[in-house]
Amino acid sequence: MKKLFLLLTLISTFTMAAQNSGSIKGMITEASGSPLSGATVYIKSLDKGTVTDYDGNFVLDNLEIGTYDVTISYVGFATTHQSVSVLAGKVTTLNTSLKESDSILNEVVITANKQPQKITDVPATVNVITSKDIEEFPSFNIGELASRQKGVDFVRSGVLGTGINIRGFNSAFNSKNLQVTDDRLSTLIATGLPMGSFSTVTKDDISRVEILLGPNGTLYGPNAHNGLVSTITKNPRQSEGTTVALGFGNQSVLTTRLRHAEAINDKFAYKFHFEHSKGKEFNYVDSVYVGTQAYKELDLDRDFKSQKYGASIYYKPSKNSEINGYYGHSNNSNIGITSAGRNQIKDWSIDVAQLKYVSKHFFANTYYTWSKTEDTYAMNQRTQNYVSFVENGFSEEEARERSYMEQWLQTGPNQGDGFALQRGALFKDASERFNAEAQYNNNWKKLYVTLGAQYQLDMADSKGTYLLDEDGIDLDQTGIYTQLEYKLDESGWGFLFGGRVDNHELYGSNFIPKVAITKKVNNGTFRLTYGKGIAVPSILNLKGNLFGGLVLGNGEGFTLTDGTKVGKLEVETINSYEIGYKGQLTDKLFIDVNGYYNQSDNFISPLVNVADAANGNFVTHIGDKPIGEVSEGNTGAFILTYLNFGHVDTYGFDLGLNYYFSDNFRTSVNYSYFGRELDKNDLDNDGNLDGQVLESELPINTPNHKFSVGLHYNKGKFYGAVYGRFVEKYDFFSGINVAAETQDQDGDGVNEIVENARVGRTWNYGQLGGFTVDANAGYNVTDQLSMGLSITNLFNAKNREFVASPIIETLVSFELKYKFSLKQKTSSNGN
């Protein structure tokens, strides 16, 4: 009887609860009617939410009776709010359609905190290149879109080569801006340089690119030093169909692309992509000096080509989780610019395999990267080698063959007197890298917690061509991180603290903190942040062995004949303080502004000779090993290496304005200022150890002023944009490369730098920068067929944008694209 009474009581309790509660269910779609799988449906006042399933459906059960503000969000779409009443014992239906974001304030971004977040809530300056921007840009090289972002130093080194820098210290070997694609590093293994055109993804598979300004190392690790560039590809469930594209332009550019995505059922989906592109670089030859005599680069090949393909499969074990497997490949031949001259890149391939798990609270990611090239070489060194053989009477055929690995040293008055030195110009690479990451995130009312760990194992192998790697070089690093956010929604205040500890096999442990305070005011958010970033020495900096041991890495330090110790390389650090505001000033005017102050220390120097053979002071040891054992045949009389030096303070601000004249027409205005304080009396800033501090030793390589204006129009089947960009002329120094105005650097009355003349081992064409106008337009002929035209440097301004690079002439790209939707196929079959 007692059990029966308890059972009746329990049933009565459930019945009363059901009568005093209700549910909300519905479907979330995009504007075209396609369901959005993974959209977030959230009731802030209850701190309760869910995500949509494969068909875009959701259910929120056991809600107390009342009226609630329901927020629906999805990355790349405008966040919407719906007022919904929950009735006792009833199910309220909420069906809504999300539109692609048409306002900077409605954007949802994912990179800053590794989870979806409205852009105004992010305690950082974030630029977004949206899928719509990419769709309406008819060129295979979407790197050009970076030129339209505030706070970004965009450079172009040719038809193919584009690059970005953020807040100073650019170079021809810049690894201070970390680049990631779908949560995997997009950097080369031995050098740490961004992959750029080596990336395995194609334009049509990119959903968005998010560019974060300033240090972001807490969640992403070393080398998110000055900024972070994150590329996010499309989920096949929201991008079903087939896209075929054909593009061509001047400089013999031709590109063909194919992408297909399909959801098989509520569990499985897949996609694959392919691209083949080719063209010819501008007619430019860099000078190679042997003594004071200039020679053309030997066997210069201006043709470039790239082939990429990849595939992904997605599996949903549950409504709130997904497993994604990816494999991608690229093969590239082009010209690469370095601080020691240009490289002729021949069939350099990148392969990557990734397995990733994502759920509401857990994230796990592992991937493997392979890098391979056999025939890439340094044109500068090979040309010097070739000249040494030809001038000593060797045949053309033998001179060319031996120029890859040797240089002839003449020792007597007659041709042929001498011997061959090992001065390898050939770069081989068979490096590999393994990465793994696990992360947990959750929230308890107002407190949001993220915990994570990362592991990386670099396995560099140059086959003895440019690294001290007779048995390969294996270096591992581990990072653990946490981030805590406390949000007071009623008052608009938010607080963030993040911390990360990285431990590297060679450079030890480093702590990377981040602190932020945000305050919502009306239609905007103020933010105050502090962050630290580190730029670690690359494997090339640590273990380099170039040109027969003339250049050696500094991973262990050096000892000289007189007992002098040269310290091993440590990490470069930056402490950054920033204040900013992003918001809506009027119904049509939006603003994003920031000001920052950075303190940078421990720069990695240009190559410096640490021996003093004239006074009998040779390099005797690398670490604790005699130099002859480490670099075979090296006497230590002349050793170029890298050192840490210097301190400099930099500061500036970025301003971005967007004004909407109408739903179809808007203008964007960007302005950036950059300044610096360099103490020339502090000999710690003497990068080449000659007793004088020069601007060229601590290369800022950033213009003081940048300004741009864009006009954007989109109505019906037509879309277009005109974009003007002004970059104040500025000096650029990077290794042997110089692009600067005539100047007396040391105050002795003699101009060490002269425009349009030889400076050291290069020709100086003068400062970089200038004014250019770009334009693009397109027309959707049908729902499936579109055509577009892009013109870079519309008025053919004669600007040079990077060292060891040509003047950038007008580039024209035309693209035809055909998209076949699977819904159209289903509809036609049904009819």
Position 768 pLDDT exceeds 60: yes
On the question of pLDDT at 828 being above 80, the answer is no
pTM value is: 0.86
**253 and 287 belong to one structural domain:** yes
Helix, coil or strand: residue 395: coil
Does the residue 541 lie in any domain? Answer: no
pLDDT of residue 675: 93
Give the Cα separation of 337 and 378 in Å (integer).
Answer: 10
pLDDT at 824: 45
Is residue 381 domain-shared with residue 482, that is, in the same domain? yes
Residues counted in the chain: 831
Would you state the pLDDT for residue 825?
44
Q: pLDDT band for position 14 (50/70/90)?
A: very low
Q: How confident is the model at residue 821 (pLDDT cuts 50, 70, 90)?
A: confident
Evaluate whether residue 701 is within a structural domain: yes
Same domain, 23 and 126: no
Q: Which residue has the higher pLDDT, 531 or 587?
A: 531
Q: How many CB atoms lie within 10 A of CB 14?
A: 10
Q: Which amino acid is at 149?
A: Q
pLDDT digits (tens, 9 = 90+) for 236-260: 988 899 999 999 999 999 999 999 9
On the question of pLDDT at 55 being above 80, the answer is: no
Tell me which residue has tokens 């790239």.
306
pLDDT at 102 over 70: no
pLDDT per residue as tens digits for the range 712-753? 998 889 999 999 999 999 999 988 899 999 998 877 888 989
* 829, pLDDT greater than 50: no
Answer with the one of 44, 69, 100 that is the final residue of a domain: 100
In a domain, 455, yes or no: yes
Per-residue pLDDT of 626-644, as tens digits, reads: 888 888 777 888 888 888 8
Residue among 191, 632, 630 nearest 376 (CA) = 191
Any domain includes 188? yes
Nearest to 572 by CA among 598, 609, 535: 535
In a domain, residue 532? The reply is yes
Residue 120: per-residue pLDDT? 61
Residue 726 lies in a domain: yes
pLDDT digits (tens, 9 = 90+) for 254-297: 999 999 999 999 899 999 999 999 999 999 999 999 988 999 99
Indicate left, alpha or beta for 387 from its phi (over 0: left) and psi (-120 to 50: alpha): alpha
Q: What CATH number is associated with residue 90?
A: 2.60.40.1120
Distance between CA atoms of 261 and 44, rounded to whole angstroms? 34
Closest by CA to 169, choosing from 513, 478, 576, 492, is 576
- Domain end point (choices 73, 100, 127): 100
- Is 137 in the same domain as 89? no
What mean pLDDT is predicted for residues 181-185? 92
Distance (Å, rounded) from C-alpha 170 to C-alpha 164? 9
CA atoms of 642 and 542, how far apart (whole Å):
8
Distance CA 517, CA 539 (A): 37
Question: 109-143 pLDDT, tens per residue?
Answer: 666 666 666 666 677 788 888 888 898 899 888 88
- Evaluate if residue 513 carries a pLDDT over 90: yes
**Confidence at residue 749, expressed as pLDDT on a 0 to 100 scale:** 86
Q: Report the number of distinct structural domains present in the chain.
A: 2
Residue % of the chain over a pLDDT of 70: 92
Q: Can you give the pLDDT at residue 604?
A: 82
Q: Residue 212 has what pLDDT?
A: 87
Asked if residue 156 and residue 94 are part of one domain, the reply reads: no
Q: How far apart are CA 800 and CA 637, in angstroms?
A: 38
Secondary structure of residue 113 in the 3-state scheme: coil
Same domain as 129, residue 51? no
In a domain, 171, yes or no: yes
Read off the amino acid at residue 450.
T
Q: Is the distance from CB of 752 to CB of 744 less than 8 angstroms? A: yes
Residue carrying the six token digits 């959903």: 207
In single-letter form, the type of residue at position 21 comes to S
* Residues 61/26, Cβ–Cβ less than 8 Å: no
Q: Do residues 124 and 230 lie in contact, with contact meaning Cβ atoms separated by under 8 Å? A: no
Distance between CA 382 and CA 300 in Å, rounded?
A: 11
3-state helix/strand/coil string of 261-275: EEECCCCEEEEEEEE
Q: Which one of 100, 125, 160 terminates a domain?
A: 100
pLDDT digits (tens, 9 = 90+) for 548-582: 788 888 888 999 898 888 889 889 899 999 999 99
Give the pLDDT of residue 385: 95
| Helix, strand, or coil (residue 140) | coil
Same domain, 94 and 155: no
Is residue 69 domain-shared with residue 142, that is, in the same domain? no
* Residue 716: per-residue pLDDT: 87
Distance CA(238)–CA(54), nearest Å, equals 10
Mean pLDDT of the chain: 87
With bands split at pLDDT 50, 70 and 90, how would you rate the model's confidence at 6?
A: low
Among the residues of 468-585, which ranges form H helices? 539-543
CATH number for the domain that contains residue 243: 2.40.170.20
Q: Under a CB-based contact definition with an 8 Å cutoff, are residues 530 and 502 in contact?
A: no
416 and 317 within one domain: yes
pLDDT tens, residue by residue, 657-676: 999 898 789 999 999 999 98
pLDDT at residue 16 greater than cutoff 60: no
pLDDT of residue 17: 47
- The dihedrals phi and psi of 671, each to the nearest 5 degrees, come to -140, 140
Number of C-alpha atoms within 13 angstroms, CB side, residue 651? 7
> Over 70: is that where the pLDDT of 782 sits?
yes
Per-residue pLDDT tens over the stretch 194-220? 888 899 999 999 998 988 888 887 888
Residue 5 has pLDDT above 70, yes or no: no
pLDDT for residue 317 is more than 90: yes
Token duo for residue 687: 């990068």
Is 637 part of any domain?
no
Backbone angles phi, psi at 145, to 5 degrees: -65, -20
3-state secondary structure of 489: coil
Q: Using one digit for the tens of pLDDT, what is the confidence trace for 446-458?
A: 898 999 999 999 9
- Give the pLDDT score at 761: 86
Same domain, yes or no: 132 and 75:
no
What integer pLDDT is reported at residue 105 of this predicted model? 53
The confidence score (pLDDT) of residue 830 equals 42
Q: How confident is the model over 332-344, as a mean pLDDT?
A: 93
Domain that holds residue 532: 117-536+571-607+642-825
- 35 and 178 share one domain: no
3-state secondary structure of 396: helix
Residues 684 and 650 reside in one and the same domain: yes
Output the CA torsion sign for 328, 333, 334, 335: positive
